[in-house]
Structure 1
Amino acid sequence: MKYPEALKKGDTIYVTAPSSGVPASLHGVLQQAVEKVQTRGFHVRVGETAWQQQKAASADRFQRAEELMMALADPEIQVVMPPWGGERIVDILPLLEWEWLRELPPTWILGYSDTSTLAFAYTMMTGTASAHGTNLFDLAAPIWDDVTKKWERALKAPQGEAIYQHSSSHYQSSWKKAFEQPGSGFVLDTQTSWKHLEGANTDELSGRLLGGCLNTLPRLVGTPLDRVQEWRSEKVIWYLESTGMDAAEIHRSLWQLQQAGWLDNAAGLLVGRPEGYNDTEGFTMEDSLKELFGGRLPVWYNADIGHMPPQWTFINGAFANLRFDRGQAEMTMRKS
């Protein structure tokens, strides 16, 4: 596993939109996020795609791919950080010159939602670690909560040094209040309680981290980007989260990953709080998890991952030790 160099003050973060860009009505929030990150001592450059959006994408697939490739090849850029996710990052994946990227010095990719599709593929195809965590847009908040702000520590930590994260005390139950004043930060209004599928009060997991958005990662199954079988020698802790999926769709997506063999050598599964979720005729996400994994795989759900913030920063490929204790969790992660 290759790791990009540890982030430091004075480094450059490049904002490109390989999936969705930001519409004109929210340009002020994007600029606010850029300025906030600059106060942390980083240079921020913003690509053309970040400022535009039409037909569910920032630009045509060729422009999006070209701008991303430019950023990943530029030795003056240390982090690629999209403004947020979107719907159509799959369009550009066949256009990326993976063998060429594999030979370049590694660059951090950080984000979640559709960005996780790119980050996961980047790790699979180049052997380079990538980061799943906050997107740039959420960093417009005047104050970053203790969980969200760990993205900086995760990227700054030298290889081999412990990166510690603890579960949140509260999470945001809905985006409605946050969008009443875009850029004002999360409304953390509900007590966090991670749950163990078997009802255990305590548990521990160890393994390498892999994961992302359940809406999008199953689309990679069976494509040239599906190289999960190359990880069979590793015990993997999978982390997954979803948005706008009901229990039946979550079930089908997890079933697909299971049948494709992605979870064959799993050490455990972490499932984020599902955003925009509904049961399906009395069938729940918990029912799905029990049918697929009950008694066979340690599963923790309602975790700090994804679309119901705040969320941990996971590094794909990093080694992690996790402890679960009565609804709370802690993780020690190392780039090793």
Structure 2
Amino acid sequence: MITYPVLNTHSKIGVTAPSSGVSSAYHPLLRQSKQRLEEKGYTVSFGETVWTQEKVRAASAEKRASEFMGMMGDDEIEAIIPPWGGELLTEILEFLDFEKMKAKWVLGYSDISPLLLAITLKKGIATAHGTNFIDLRGEYWDETTAMWEKVLTTKRGESISQTSSIKYQDQWEHENPSPCVFHLTHETEWKTVSNKDENLKGRLLGGCIDIIHHLAGTPYGDVKAFHETFADGEPLLWYFENCELNTTGLRCALVHMKMAGWFDHCSGIIFGRSAANTPVNGYLVEDVYRELSEELGIPVIYDIDCGHQPPQVTLVNGACAEVNVSGGKGVIRQFFK
């Protein structure tokens, strides 16, 4: 049975950096996000690691792991939201004590993905793939991003629906600040390999494919044990976002996961929009999606609101979900059961 944490309004949120910290030039962004959340009634507690950054790390793997475990053990903190992703989160996994982890929300994406997935696979605790802390600094949140709060306050036995965005951000424009952080300029269209309407059902698992495929074959990526222990016989519905892989890199990652058995009992796969997916010798990302769909005999949906071209829906690892795509628009309904 999946354990669903509960976020209460006016609760305390912990901010720690299990991957990259924030250099001094961007410290004002941390304070700005803290102010926005406090205006909504939350209390925000910063760890030491968010303020430091040397090369690609906030601190040593041991220190990052220790601070994260400290927040996991703090009964006053109901959710942990890292400032953003980074590069080397996987270093901390061996220093985490999963047996001591309490049921509280961990929310993030990109390099935070392996932490989210490992917690859900090993402990059956639901985790949330969505916005990071830095991106909550806007004067207001766009409708898609704002759903993180409603998703995390959903209780066991309830469901929550999210719809595709109207527009998305094609590229980052940090030098041109927006009131809602993002510059939503391009029309959103959720697509299917079949070019037909699709309706997928299953228990959600996923994250940033660049990183999480490295968990396959390790103690932190035992999908078979998760399915037997926590999935209640439900098929798995995978979601992925691609940060930097070209099409052959994406294909290799998917083959790796397939050979590791991750796609056994899989009812469908959905992919987020990506500015990566660079073609190699005419090999397009649409070719990757089509081949995967044909090999596994499952529907594939792509260009959904997930990943590094925001905004993004909040997807809960471990939740049961129904994903419907019709006419380029999408609806995701998650059931906390």
**Band the TM-score falls in, shorter-chain normalisation:** over 0.9
- For 2:77, what is the secondary structure of its paired residue? coil
Mapped to 2, the partners of 1:63 and 1:222 lie a distance apart of: 26
- The match for 2:323 is 322
Gaps of 5+ in 2: none
- The match for 2:129 is 132
- The match for 1:238 is 238
Deviation at 1:2, TM superposition (A): 3.8
Offset from partner CA, 1:250-298 (integer Å, 9 cap, x none): 1111111111110121111010011334111211111011122227111
Is the Cα contact below 8 Å between 2:182 and 2:310 reproduced in 1?
yes
Mapped to 2, the partners of 1:244 and 1:317 lie a distance apart of: 26
Is the Cα contact below 8 Å between 1:178 and 1:184 reproduced in 2?
no
Do the aligned partners of residues 184 and 199 (structure 1) sit closer, same or farther apart at CA in structure 2, a change above 3 Å counting? closer
Offset from partner CA, 1:11-37 (integer Å, 9 cap, x none): 110000000011111110111011111
Question: What is the one-letter code of the residue matched to 1:188?
Answer: L
Mapped to 2, the partners of 1:276 and 1:206 lie a distance apart of: 27
Is the Cα contact below 8 Å between 2:4 and 2:156 reproduced in 1?
no
Question: What is the one-letter code of the residue matched to 1:191?
Answer: E
Deviation at 1:99, TM superposition (A): 2.2
Q: 1:211 aligns with which of 206, 222, 228?
A: 206
Mapped to 1, the partners of 2:45 and 2:214 lie a distance apart of: 31
Do the aligned partners of residues 257 and 311 (structure 1) sit closer, same or farther apart at CA in structure 2, a change above 3 Å counting? same
Do the aligned partners of residues 3 and 38 (structure 1) sit closer, same or farther apart at CA in structure 2, a change above 3 Å counting? farther
Within a 5 Å distance, the mapping from 1:55-70 to structure 2 comes to 55-70=55-70
Offset from partner CA, 1:209-241 (integer Å, 9 cap, x none): 110000101110111112101216330110000
TM-score calculated relative to the size of structure 2: 0.95
- The match for 2:73 is 73
Mapped to 1, the partners of 2:216 and 2:334 lie a distance apart of: 27
Offset from partner CA, 1:280-327 (integer Å, 9 cap, x none): 121111101112222711100011111110101011111111211011
Mapped to 1, the partners of 2:4 and 2:302 lie a distance apart of: 30
Mapped to 2, the partners of 1:128 and 1:184 lie a distance apart of: 31
The answer to whether 1:306 aligns with 2:302 is no
The answer to whether 1:27 aligns with 2:22 is no
Deviation at 1:87, TM superposition (A): 0.5
Offset from partner CA, 1:132-153 (integer Å, 9 cap, x none): 0000111111111100000000
Deviation at 1:331, TM superposition (A): 1.3
Within a 5 Å distance, the mapping from 1:254-333 to structure 2 comes to 254-294=254-294, 296-333=297-334
Q: 1:188 aligns with which of 184, 188, 192?
A: 184
Do the aligned partners of residues 190 and 178 (structure 1) sit closer, same or farther apart at CA in structure 2, a change above 3 Å counting? farther
Deviation at 1:6, TM superposition (A): 2.2
Mapped to 2, the partners of 1:221 and 1:133 lie a distance apart of: 22
Within a 5 Å distance, the mapping from 1:109-188 to structure 2 comes to 109-175=106-172, 177-181=173-177, 185-188=181-184
- The match for 1:37 is 37
Is the Cα contact below 8 Å between 1:2 and 1:106 reproduced in 2?
no
Is the Cα contact below 8 Å between 2:142 and 2:180 reproduced in 1?
no
Mapped to 2, the partners of 1:39 and 1:171 lie a distance apart of: 26
Is the Cα contact below 8 Å between 2:5 and 2:126 reproduced in 1?
no
Mapped to 2, the partners of 1:308 and 1:215 lie a distance apart of: 15
Mapped to 2, the partners of 1:301 and 1:187 lie a distance apart of: 21
Question: What is the one-letter code of the residue matched to 1:275?
Answer: A
Is the Cα contact below 8 Å between 2:6 and 2:104 reproduced in 1?
no
TM-score calculated relative to the size of structure 1: 0.95
Mapped to 1, the partners of 2:234 and 2:95 lie a distance apart of: 29
Do the aligned partners of residues 62 and 305 (structure 1) sit closer, same or farther apart at CA in structure 2, a change above 3 Å counting? same
Is the Cα contact below 8 Å between 1:130 and 1:315 reproduced in 2?
yes
Is the Cα contact below 8 Å between 1:108 and 1:131 reproduced in 2?
yes
Question: What is the one-letter code of the residue matched to 1:290?
Answer: R
Is the Cα contact below 8 Å between 2:108 and 2:131 reproduced in 1?
yes
Do the aligned partners of residues 222 and 110 (structure 1) sit closer, same or farther apart at CA in structure 2, a change above 3 Å counting? same
Mapped to 1, the partners of 2:251 and 2:63 lie a distance apart of: 35
- For 1:258, what is the secondary structure of its paired residue? helix
Deviation at 1:62, TM superposition (A): 1.0
- The match for 1:10 is 10
Mapped to 1, the partners of 2:315 and 2:139 lie a distance apart of: 23
Do the aligned partners of residues 309 and 334 (structure 1) sit closer, same or farther apart at CA in structure 2, a change above 3 Å counting? same
- For 2:115, what is the secondary structure of its paired residue? helix
Equivalent pairs counted in the alignment come to 331
- The match for 2:223 is 228
Identity %: 37
